[in-house]
């Protein structure tokens, strides 16, 4: 099955989805901050089929994140920067890993910026998301199957 790297600082909010993906046979590794994720970025890009990224993450211990992106007011900037880092690593290593953003902070400006960076709608999901369709979407990506026509639905909760 597939290998999934999930970057989420509040794992308890996505625990059920992680458990479901593991029940489907996928290996899921969770990273709770930017630096712990960046420490293994090359291995993640080479070994993962899917990277699920929350945009609002703490910096964590280490020196991989530029000082200009520290602080609560820089959460979105840091998340977009992190997306660009992993996407650049994936491209440099010619990996087939797919990046999915699952974040509560997908306002109009953030969506516009991400779309300008090449992210497409099926790979952008706003929390809270309907578990079933999201799990099916990630499962298909991790198995490298053709994607369904419709992206995962938001729950509206």
Read off the pLDDT of residues 61-115 as tens digits, 9 standing for 90 and up. Answer: 988 999 999 988 888 899 999 999 999 999 999 999 999 999 998 999 999 999 9
**pLDDT 10s digits, 106-141:** 999 999 999 999 998 889 999 999 999 999 999 999
- The domain locations on the chain are 3-142
What 8-state DSSP symbol labels residue 141?
H
**pLDDT 10s digits, 26-60:** 999 999 999 999 999 999 999 999 999 999 999 99
Long-range contacts of 94-99 (CB under 8 A, 24+ apart): 95/45, 95/46, 95/48, 96/49, 96/144, 97/44, 97/45, 97/48, 97/49, 97/50, 97/51, 98/49, 98/50, 98/51, 98/123, 98/141, 99/50, 99/51, 99/53, 99/123
pLDDT at position 11 over 70:
yes
pLDDT of residue 63: 86
The CATH superfamily label for domain 3-142 reads Response regulator (3.40.50.2300)
pTM value is 0.90
């Amino acid at each position: 099955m597939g290998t999934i790297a999930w970057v989420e600082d509040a794992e308890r909010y996505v625990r059920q989805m992680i458990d479901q993906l593991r029940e489907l046979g996928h290996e899921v590794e969770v990273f709770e901050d930017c630096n712990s994720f960046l420490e293994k970025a090359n291995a993640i890009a080479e070994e993962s089929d899917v990277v699920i990224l929350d945009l609002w993450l703490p910096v964590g211990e280490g020196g991989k994140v530029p000082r200009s992106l520290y602080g609560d007011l820089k959460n979105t900037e840091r998340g977009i920067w992190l997306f660009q880092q992993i996407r650049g690593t994936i491209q440099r290593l010619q990996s087939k890993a797919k990046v999915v953003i699952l974040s509560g902070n997908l306002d109009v400006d953030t969506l516009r910026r991400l779309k300008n960076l090449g992210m497409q709608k099926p790979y952008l999901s706003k929390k809270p998301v309907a578990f079933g369709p999201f799990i099916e979407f990630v499962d298909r990506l991790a198995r490298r199957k053709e994607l369904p026509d419709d992206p995962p639905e938001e729950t509206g909760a």
